A and B are shown apart, each in its own frame.
Chain A
Amino acid sequence: MHNNGTNSELFDNLRLELRRGCLVVAVLVQLRTELYGYAIRKALTDQGLAIDENTLYPLLRRLESQGLLVSQWREDAKRNKRFYRLSPVGEEVLTDLLEEWQRMNSALGRILAAPVNRTE
């Protein structure tokens, strides 16, 4: 019982680490078109990558302060919303990030495909 609890906690922590980088890429990709916070969340959830509000909004602010995003307040459906999109710098960085992602993905694919060599 205790072991299962520990494993689950361990898995959650590792999953969090794995997701952290992926979420940044996913948000940047999503913001190739202009979107507001709630719409980003909906879009990501619909595509199978749910993101919690308490993760998304601080992340958007951080990416904006790093110059990767630009934002503006605009009225939409009778309410003021903050719309985000990639900045020119963000577009360049995203291209590099996606290339890196492809490289890592290929490498991981090769590692997973390699025969398991068990030594006693």
Chain B
Amino acid sequence: MPPTKDDLIDRYLHAVKFWLPKAQQQDLLAELAEDLHSQIEEREAALGHPLDEADLAAILKRRGSPTRVASGFIPEHRLISPAMLPVYKLVLRIVLLWVLAPLFVFIFLAPVFSSGHPGRALLEFFVEAWRAGFMVVGIVTVVFAAIDRYHAKWVDDWDPRKLPRVPVAHQTSVRRTDFAGFITGIAAFVFWACLMWQRSEIAFEGGLRIGLNAIWSQIYWPVLGVTLARALVDGFSFLRPASTRVSSGIRIGLDVAVILMAGVLLKVGNWVAIAAPNLSAADMTKVTAWVNGVIQVSLICAFPIMLFDLVRQLRLMLRGKPSQPAAILTVS
């Protein structure tokens, strides 16, 4: 049996009702029904005969889908307000692209190459990456939604005098370096924290073992602290490029700490001992000597590098303010 005129209207209104706010459902529906009946009456009067099912369907179709009609009565809610959106997007980009992605590649993708089942390891990597990605997006969104809901005023609580200085032209590249320093610093921090924690040797598949001298355990915390501090200073410099004195002062302290640690390490001499089942004793001695040689050269190189950075930071600290701001507006 084809639907009657009233049947079509009832079905339409019932569909709209589902999406309307509960408290106003009956009231809004009565008004919408009245409007529809007025419209139908007028149309029938103009045509001179009752509307058939197709005419009525056309009127309802023109009025719009039930969800569209109901959406007008639903108060607009934004999870994150437009004023907060740029900060939210920046944080999300930093967390996903510059922190999570490198960490994932480092922690999860690296084992793929050493795994006996690379396909399965790769699949696990993608599953974990998606899971972590969704979780991070969810957490960041919930945090920002909460800030937006309860502390939205901080967006308007600002002082023009407290805005960061306009960076000088060359500082654009310096900021990139600071940002890269922050990311590599965090990666190095995680690497050191995970790989060297209470470790006396590093074992690989196939029986290769790298025995670590006790000095590595003794300097575990100083290295961890310096690495984290360095990353945070770079992050701070990236966010506040004008605070040259503060960041340079801290960097000088960190450079001195690295020089001292390199000095302590250099005194040891034998930093690692290599053991592999398929190598002869003579070969193992050669490999161990070669690896220790590389470490020694690296430690020696750390001195001029740190000294150069120390002098550079001293000059920056003494110079203080940026000399010439970069052109932001060009007036012609």
Is the pair A57, B73 in contact by a Cβ cutoff of 8 Å? yes
Q: Interface 1/0s, chain B 26-38, versus A by CB < 8 A?
A: 0110111011011
**Chain A residues positioned under 8 Å from B160 (CB to CB):** none
Is the pair A82, B63 in contact by a Cβ cutoff of 8 Å? no
Q: Interface 1/0s, chain A 41-85, versus B by CB < 8 A?
A: 100000000000111011001000000000001000001111000
Of A36, A38, A41, A55, most B-chain CB atoms within 10 Å:
A38
- Bound form: Cα–Cα A58–B73 in Å: 5
Number of A interface residues, CB 8 Å? 15
Q: Interface 1/0s, chain B 60-86, versus A by CB < 8 A?
A: 000110001100110000000000000
**Chain B residues positioned under 8 Å from A81 (CB to CB):** 34
**Chain A residues positioned under 8 Å from B69 (CB to CB):** 53-54
- The distance from the CB of B128 to the nearest CB of chain A, in whole angstroms, is 42
A contacts with B: majority SS: helix
B contacts with A: majority SS: helix
Is the pair B68, A36 in contact by a Cβ cutoff of 8 Å? no
Known A-B contacts A38-B38, A38-B39; A54 and B31 likewise in contact (beta carbons under 8 Å)? no
**Chain A residues positioned under 8 Å from B35 (CB to CB):** 37-38, 41, 53, 57
18 A–B contacts from the bound complex (CB under 8 Å): A36-B34, A37-B31, A37-B34, A38-B34, A38-B39, A53-B63, A53-B69, A54-B68, A54-B69, A57-B31, A58-B72, A61-B73, A73-B30, A79-B34, A79-B37, A80-B30, A82-B30, A82-B31
Q: Which residues does B use to contact A, with CB under 8 Å?
A: 24, 27-28, 30-32, 34-35, 37-39, 63-64, 68-69, 72-73
* Sample of 10 further A-B pairs with CB below 8 A, known A58-B73, A61-B73, A81-B34: A38-B38, A53-B63, A53-B69, A55-B72, A57-B31, A57-B35, A61-B24, A61-B28, A80-B30, A80-B34
Q: Which residues does A use to contact B, with CB under 8 Å?
A: 36-38, 41, 53-55, 57-58, 61, 73, 79-82
